[in-house]
Structure 1
Amino acid sequence: MANHKSALKRNRQAQKKRVHNRYYAKTGRNAVRKLRATVEKDAATEMFPKVAAILDKLAKKNIIHKNKASNLKSKLAKHISKL
């Protein structure tokens, strides 16, 4: 257990931030999953910029690594081109 007021506050802040980050990371994963499940090229092409923007925002806020966002976008673009 924390012994200082500042440590207690830091624990509260970290817990709040963790919940926030997990929510947005899950939202990004769901968007990627939904795009991968799409079998129509038109729908996937229309969806791709939105998903790419979500991934870029997650990387900008350090929720996911910038290289991970880049790799995901690359794989999704490759997936769309194969449809």
Structure 2
Amino acid sequence: MANHKSALKRIRQNEVKRDRNRYYHKSARTAIKNLRAETDKTAAEEQFPKVSSQIDKLAKRNIIHKNKASNLKSKLAKHVASIA
């Protein structure tokens, strides 16, 4: 266990940040899953900018790597374009 007051505070801060990051990551994954399951083209085109924005925010906060974010957005864009 930490001995210094600042170390105890850092532990508390890290726990809060970890929970927040997990929430953002899980929310984005759910949104991605819902977009991939979408069969209506107009609904998918409407959802895509929101999901793309969530992915960008994850990359900005270093929750996921920027290349992973780009790959996800690219694959989702292809998926939305391919819906008949």
Aligned mates of 1:68, 1:28 — CA distance in 2: 13
- Structure 1, unmatched stretches of 5+, are none
**Partner amino acid for 2:28?**
G
TM-score relative to the length of structure 2 = 0.92
Alignment match, 1:51? 51
Q: Which deviates the most, 16-25 or 54-63?
A: 54-63
Alignment match, 1:16? 16
Once the two structures are TM-superposed, the CA of residue 76 in structure 1 deviates from its matched residue by: 0.4
Once the two structures are TM-superposed, the CA of residue 46 in structure 1 deviates from its matched residue by: 1.3
Percent identical pairs in the alignment equals 66
Q: Which deviates the most, 13-22 or 58-67?
A: 58-67
- Equivalent pairs counted in the alignment come to 83
TM-score relative to the length of structure 1 = 0.93
Q: Which runs of 4+ in 1 moved over 6 A?
A: none
